[in-house]
Amino acid sequence: MTKPVTNHTLKVRELEKVYHTRMGPFIAVNKVSLDIADGEVLAIVGESGCGKSTLSRLLIGLDQADGGEIRFNDRVLYRASDAHASHRNDGIAIVFQDPFSSLNPKMRVVDLVAEAFRPTKLSAIKGWRGRRVTRRKRVVEYLNLVGLDETHLDRFPHEFSGGQLQRIALARALAQEPGLLILDEPTAALDVSVQAQILMLLKELQQRLALSMVFISHNLGSVAFIADRIMVMYLGHRVEAGPTRKVLDHTRHHYTRALIEAVPSINPHRKRRVSTLVPRGSILRPASRSCVFADRCPAATDDCRQHAPSFTEGPGGHGFACFHPLSETQP
């Protein structure tokens, strides 16, 4: 499956975010670079606290980065040298993890979705009556897109189930006509059967609208189902990135391997190997010069504790940051 190399929708270079805490600076995102092509789904995986949600907040402009550059459709959204580089999330929309708390309980569905419309969308129509009718019609179009209909227009969020609410949140994001959709663990708060519905819907929308997506998740099963490429993060660093099947089948980084092994499979005959990782302490602060993963890595040597490996990209866009990578041909 070789996609023609198209222009990149999103280009991120060496993005950094530092939180200043009482115990000193905490680097949540450390020099992360990524590219997303038109119509591509990039999954960001990693355990909690690895910086994947912070990264999504930086992309959409909810938080300001402390270094690096974000370009979107050849516009610079953020650049470190600009003093007032706070960008609006133009053309980037986000769906949050928990639809129960991300939708205002006092607003009807029609208002929730229409709130996201661009101002130019309705201003061409004369008269408030006409605008009102068109507004409702437009909302129904977006609701149809996510599998809801006009009977849901005047209801409040509490009248819906979790899966339906996530659909409304998705309609609201699509109403912004985004070039890039960020999904921050969109199925984590949902039941298994509903999860499958939302994943199918996302895949269908992605193919129909040729949407670019950033899919943040720690569920490798759904990532394998939906993503074209995967980026694995550990403590704010990008440790491995590449096409989905390459990363999952020909894993190079020890952390990715541990993540994959930890996923319980529904196949009762597949034996799960016991994770070889050294348990993590509660302190998430690696020594500054070493490899971030050195403390827990089964293959760590003195070299790893003295220098940090740089991220090197191999053929096919499969890159990793490790001195002692797993061999490419493994069972």
Partner 1 sequence: MQLLAVSALHVRLPSIHRTVHAVRNVSWSLNEGEILALVGESGCGKTMTAMAILGLLPDSAQVTGHCSWQGQQRSVRTSGTRDPLAAEHAAVIFQNPQTALNPFFTISQQMGDVALASGRVTRKSLPGVLVENLARVQLPDPSAVLKKYPHQLSGGQLQRVMIAMALVCRPQVLIADEPTTALDVIVQAEILELLRTLALEDGLAVLLITHDLGVVASLCDRVMVMYAGEIVEQGAVKEVLRSPAHPYTRKLLATVPDIDGSRTALEYIPGRVPDLSQPMHGCAFKERCAHRHGACDRVPIERVLKGGQSYRCHLNDPYEVTQP
Q: Is 263 in the site for partner 1 (CB under 8 A)?
A: yes
Q: Is 125 in the site for partner 1 (CB under 8 A)?
A: no
Give me the helices (H) in 107-174, please: 109-114, 120-123, 128-145, 162-174
Residue 65 or 146: which CB sits closer to partner 1?
A: 146
Other C-beta atoms lying within 10 Å of the C-beta of residue 1: 6
- The single residue among 1, 5, 23, 266 that binds partner 1, judged by CB under 8 A, is 266
- The single residue among 116, 258, 297, 304 that binds partner 1, judged by CB under 8 A, is 258
Q: For residues 112 and 104, is the Cβ–Cβ distance under 8 A?
A: yes
- The single residue among 150, 159, 191, 328 that binds partner 1, judged by CB under 8 A, is 191
Of 122, 97, 99, the C-alpha closest to 109 is: 99
Integer Cα distance of 228 and 224 in angstroms = 8
**Options 123-131, 168-176, 274-282, 287-295: segment touching partner 1 (CB under 8 A):** 274-282
CB of 148 to partner 1, least distance (A): 14
Q: For residues 146 and 201, is the Cβ–Cβ distance under 8 A?
A: yes
Q: For the CA atoms of 176, 52, 41, 145, what is the dihedral angle to 10 degrees?
A: -40
Hey, what are 59's tokens?
A: 């992309």
Q: Is 268 in the site for partner 1 (CB under 8 A)?
A: yes
Which residues between 52 and 111 bind partner 1 (CB under 8 A)? Answer: none
- The single residue among 18, 107, 122, 260 that binds partner 1, judged by CB under 8 A, is 260
Q: For the CA atoms of 125, 128, 134, 140, what is the dihedral angle to 10 degrees?
A: 150
- The single residue among 199, 232, 292, 297 that binds partner 1, judged by CB under 8 A, is 199
Residue 85 or 248: which CB sits closer to partner 1?
A: 248
Of 253, 258, 292, the C-alpha closest to 277 is: 258
Whole-number CA gyration radius for the chain: 21
Number of chain residues interacting with partner 1 (CB under 8 A):
41
- The single residue among 221, 305, 324, 326 that binds partner 1, judged by CB under 8 A, is 221
- The single residue among 1, 23, 83, 274 that binds partner 1, judged by CB under 8 A, is 274
Q: Which residues bind partner 1 (CB under 8 A)?
A: 47-48, 161, 191-197, 199-200, 218-222, 224-225, 244-245, 248, 258-269, 272, 274-275, 277, 279-280, 282
